[in-house]
Structure 1
C-alpha cells in the first residue's frame, strides 16, 4: 500500500497533541457516571422487559434508585443489596415493585455492602462473559465460513422501519454483493432516553434499534452467510442518550460494527458533552471486549462545513477518536475512522484533492479499517450525474486503499432508495472493484506533486488546530464551534440531568472489570 511522504515528526506531534487534548476528557469520564451507564450495567446483569407503556424496567429501576439514593455511588450497591436481602426472585420482579413504589432502597455498609458487591459482580460478569463469548463465536464463524475475498468491504444500508421487511432486503443485498448490512436507526431514536423492547414494525426513515431486532437480523444474516460462503457483517448504532446500553445489547447479540463517534451526538444531536464523553468511554470498552468495529462520524462535518476548508478538522477528529479508542482498549483493527467524498465537484482539481485527503487518512492510520463515505451534499437530483460521482467515489476508494466502502445512491437527497436503485449502485461498485481491484499497487503520487503537497497542507493545518485546542481545552473548543460549525457548550444539551459526579464510595462492577482492559490483555496474551 502506497503511503504519502509525510513528516514523521509532525505526525508524532499531531498524535501527542491529540493525547493532550483527550486526557482531561478521560479524567472527566473517570470521575462521573450516567443513568445510561448504570442501566447498561443492569442490562448486563440480565434485566430486560418493559412495562405496559413500553418503558423498560431498567429505566424504572434506575430512576427509582436515583430518586432515593442518588446516582453518585452507582446503583449496584442499593439494587443488589435489596435483591439479596428482600424476597425477590429476579431483577425484573424487583424493578416492577420499585416502579409501583413498593421498595425503599438504601446504601448498604460493612459486610452488607461487601455481600451486595459480590452478588453484583457475579451477575454482571455473566453479561460480560456473554459479550466475550459472542466475539469468540464470530471468530469461529469467520474461520468456518470465510471473509469476503477482497477489500474494500461493500457496506449497504437497509431501513424500512419494519424489522421483518428489513430482513429479506438485507439478505437480497448480501446476495447482490454487500459484505456489511447497516440497519439505519429510526429518526430521533438517539434522543430517546430508553431503548425500546422487542421486535418493532414501525419506524421513521429507519428501524428502531432493539435487542430483539439485533438478534433477528443477526440470525438471518448467519443463514445467508452460510449460503454465500462469506461472513456478512451487521452494523447498527451506539450513539445518543442510550449509547452504553446499545453497546451492551450489541455485544450480547453479536452485532459486528457500531457507529460510535466521540463527538457526533454532541455536534449533531445536541446531547450534553459530558454525558456523551462518559457514555462513549464505557461503550467503547464494551466494543473492545466484544471485538466490535466502531465507525466514527467525521464525514458529517463535511456536510455542514466546506470539505476543502474544513478538511483538517476531519484529521483532528480522527486523531482524537484514535486516542479515545486506544485508551478504552480498542486496537487499530477495530478502529473504523470515517471520512468522505464531499468536495464540490465544480471545484477545479476536486478529484485530486479527494485523493489527497483519502491518502492522508490511509497514511496516518495504516492498520485501521477506514470507512469511506459517498457524496451526499452535492447530489442534485440528476441521477446520471449522481451515478457518475459515485463511480468516481468508488474509484478513489480503490486507488487509496480504503477498507469499508459505503454504497453511494444516485437518488441521494431525492427519494428513499428503491431496491432497483440499490441494484444499480451495486453494479457501479462491482464494475470498479473488478476493473481496478489492484490499482492501489500502481498508484504512486510523486513526493512533490499536487496530492502529496495537499496532504501535507491539511496535516499542518490539523496540527495548528490541535495546538489551539490544547490551549483552550477540548470542551471549550467544541463550545466555540470548532467541529462542524455547531457550538455546543459543556453545560448545555440534552441529558445533563442524567450525569452524576462519582462519590468516594462509587461502585460499578462493569466499570471495575472493564477498567482492567480485559480485551487488551487478551490480545497481548495471544
Structure 2
C-alpha cells in the first residue's frame, strides 16, 4: 500500500523490530486466555452461522434463548454444539429456530452426548455451521466481483458517518454522501448498544445518537450502497461496529451481509465501556477470525485515547496500542491490508508547533505500518462550536492526511460539538476534503523531513517512549497496565467490568465447529502471504 514510500524519519530498524517483539510478548498471554475460554456470544455466533435468526414475541433473539437454556442445563464448558445437535439429530426438529422455541417452553432436555452420539452430533454441527462459513466465503467473492466490475476508489478513501437513528433516513444520507464523494459510509451505532447482551432484530427506526446494528439494517444499507455503487461506477464500502458484548455475533452478521469494514479495537470496550477484559479479549479473537475469513478490514480505536489523554504526552500509548492491535490481529489471521490501525488529529491547536507535532505522529504511524490501511481521525476534543474555526481545523487535518499518505480519511464536521450535523454540513465538509485532496493529494511524495529536524526527532522520541512502555508492560502484564490506567487514563481491573459472568473456561473436549474452521484459516494465513482481496477457498 505505502511500503514504497521509503523511510522519511530515519527510524532505527532494530528499534522497530524490538517494538514488535515486545508487543508480541505483551499480547501473547491474553491470546492464551482467549484460546482457553468461550463466551455466550461466541456460542450464539456459532448458532447464527448455522442459520438461527429471529426473535420471540418479547424481542429476545432465539439464539439467546437457546444458549441460555443449554447453559442452565449442562453448562457451556463444552460449547453448545454437542448438546444442540444431539437433540436435533435424535428428536428431528425442523430447524434450530423451532428447537429454540421448544427449549424456551421447557419442552427440551439437553445432555452432553458421548461415543457414537457425540460423533454424530459433531458431524451434523460441522455440516450446518459449514454452510454459514460458505456464505461468508461467497460474500467475500461477491465483494471482489463488484470491486473488479466497478472502479476502486483511489487512496485515501473518504470515510463519512451517518447517524439519524432511522435506518431508512440513514440510507438517504448514505446515498447522498456517496454521490458527493464519500468512498466509505459508516452507520454509527445507537448509544449503549455495546452494553446489550443481545443483538436487536429487524429494521429499526429509533436510535440514540445512532442506529441499531441489526442484520436487517445491515442488509438494507448494503443493498442501498450497492445500488448507488452501480449508479456511480465505483464500489462504496460499508462500515459498522463489531464491539461490545455481542462482538462475535455482529462480526458474523457483518460477514453474512457483506459489510466491508468493522470497528474492532482490542481494548476500546474495556476502557470506554467498562466491559470485562477477559470477555473482551476472548470475544475479540473470534470476531477477528471471522473478519479475516470474510475479507473485512478492521478499524482500531486509538483515537479515543486522545479524547481523554493529552495528545502529546500520551502519543506513545497510541503507538503501543497500535503495535499490540497489530499483533493480536495477525495472530487471529488478519493480513496487513485488513488492519486499519487508528490515530487522530487531536493536539490542542494552541500548542506551539502543533501541526508539526501532528505530522510527526502521523508519519510515525505510516512508517511503522506501511502496508496497513491506516484510519486518520479528525479533531473532536478541541472543537469549540465555532464553526469557522472548526472548518479551518478540519482543513489542516485533511492537509496532514495528504502530507503523510494516510489511507482512510474520516470526514471532520465543522459542527462537531455544536449540533448533530445536517446533510448540508456533510456537503460542506466533503467539499473541504475534495479541495485539499485535489490541491495537495500527492504532496506526501515531496515531504522529506530533515533527518535531525523537529518532525523526525519527535517521531523517534515517541517510538523510544513506546518501547520503554512495552518493556514495562511485559514485566507487569497487559492486564495490569490496563488496570493502572495506562491507556486513555481509564483504570479497568481484570476481574471487573460487565459481561464476566458470560465467560467460561473451556473444558477438555470443548467443541465448536466454527472455531475449528477459523483456526484452520489462521494456520493457512500463517503459511504464506496472500494478495489483498484474494479469497481463500477453505472447505469447512
Give TM-score, length-normalised by structure 2: 0.96
Corresponding residue number in structure 2 for 1:54: 59
CA distance, structure 2, for counterparts of residue 301 and residue 377 of structure 1: 11
CA distance, structure 2, for counterparts of residue 71 and residue 336 of structure 1: 33
CA distance, structure 2, for counterparts of residue 56 and residue 298 of structure 1: 32
Query: Which aligned pairs between 1:382-393 and structure 2 lie closer than 5 A?
Result: 382-393=386-397
Query: Which aligned pairs between 1:56-135 and structure 2 lie closer than 5 A?
Result: 56-135=61-140
Structure 1 runs, 4 residues or longer, greater than 4 Å off: 521-526
CA distance, structure 2, for counterparts of residue 87 and residue 398 of structure 1: 60
Q: Which runs of 5+ in 2 are unaligned?
A: 535-540
Shift of 1:524: 4.5
CA distance, structure 2, for counterparts of residue 10 and residue 517 of structure 1: 31
Corresponding residue number in structure 2 for 1:36: 41
Corresponding residue number in structure 2 for 1:187: 191
Shift of 1:168: 1.1
Q: Is 1:145 aligned to residue 165 of structure 2?
A: no
Q: 1:176 aligns with which of 177, 180, 189?
A: 180
8 A contact 1:2–1:441 mirrored in 2: no
Corresponding residue number in structure 1 for 2:295: 291
Give TM-score, length-normalised by structure 1: 0.99
CA distance, structure 2, for counterparts of residue 146 and residue 431 of structure 1: 21
8 A contact 1:54–1:196 mirrored in 2: yes
Shift of 1:426: 0.6
DSSP 3-state at the match of 1:369: coil
Q: Is 1:27 aligned to residue 32 of structure 2?
A: yes
Shift of 1:522: 9.0
CA distance, structure 2, for counterparts of residue 232 and residue 488 of structure 1: 38
CA distance, structure 2, for counterparts of residue 395 and residue 10 of structure 1: 29
Aligned residues: CA RMSD: 1.0
Corresponding residue number in structure 2 for 1:319: 323
The one-character-per-residue Cα deviations of 1:295-325 (angstroms, maximum 9, x if unpaired) are 0000000000000000000000000000000
Q: 1:416 aligns with which of 415, 420, 424?
A: 420
The one-character-per-residue Cα deviations of 1:409-428 (angstroms, maximum 9, x if unpaired) are 01101110011111110110
Shift of 1:516: 1.2
Corresponding residue number in structure 2 for 1:359: 363
DSSP 3-state at the match of 1:516: helix
CA distance, structure 2, for counterparts of residue 496 and residue 63 of structure 1: 15
The one-character-per-residue Cα deviations of 1:13-52 (angstroms, maximum 9, x if unpaired) are 0000000011111111110000000000000000001001
Q: 1:307 to 1:245 in 2, by over 3 A?
A: same
CA distance, structure 2, for counterparts of residue 524 and residue 415 of structure 1: 44
Shift of 1:69: 0.5
Q: 1:464 aligns with which of 463, 468, 482?
A: 468
CA distance, structure 1, for counterparts of residue 494 and residue 479 of structure 2: 6
Q: Is 1:237 aligned to residue 241 of structure 2?
A: yes
CA distance, structure 2, for counterparts of residue 273 and residue 100 of structure 1: 34
The one-character-per-residue Cα deviations of 1:428-473 (angstroms, maximum 9, x if unpaired) are 0010000001101011111111000000000000000000000000
Query: Which aligned pairs between 1:158-177 and structure 2 lie closer than 5 A?
Result: 158-177=162-181
Segment of structure 1 superposing worse, 300-309 or 511-520: 511-520
8 A contact 1:328–1:517 mirrored in 2: no
Q: Is 1:368 aligned to residue 376 of structure 2?
A: no
The one-character-per-residue Cα deviations of 1:81-115 (angstroms, maximum 9, x if unpaired) are 00110131100000001111111100000000000
Q: How many residues of Structure 1 are paired with residues of Structure 2 in the alignment?
A: 525
The one-character-per-residue Cα deviations of 1:484-515 (angstroms, maximum 9, x if unpaired) are 01111110000000000000010000001111
CA distance, structure 2, for counterparts of residue 218 and residue 201 of structure 1: 17
Shift of 1:53: 1.1
Shift of 1:132: 1.1
Shift of 1:218: 0.4
CA distance, structure 2, for counterparts of residue 386 and residue 178 of structure 1: 20
Q: Which runs of 5+ in 1 are unaligned?
A: none
CA distance, structure 2, for counterparts of residue 228 and residue 97 of structure 1: 48
The one-character-per-residue Cα deviations of 1:196-235 (angstroms, maximum 9, x if unpaired) are 1111111110000001110110011001001111100000
The one-character-per-residue Cα deviations of 1:336-356 (angstroms, maximum 9, x if unpaired) are 000000000000000000000
Shift of 1:517: 2.1
The one-character-per-residue Cα deviations of 1:374-431 (angstroms, maximum 9, x if unpaired) are 0000001110000000000000000000000000001101110011111110110010
CA distance, structure 1, for counterparts of residue 118 and residue 477 of structure 2: 39
Q: 1:328 aligns with which of 292, 309, 332?
A: 332
CA distance, structure 2, for counterparts of residue 136 and residue 424 of structure 1: 36
DSSP 3-state at the match of 1:156: strand
The one-character-per-residue Cα deviations of 1:96-139 (angstroms, maximum 9, x if unpaired) are 01111111100000000000000000000010110011011100
DSSP 3-state at the match of 2:78: coil
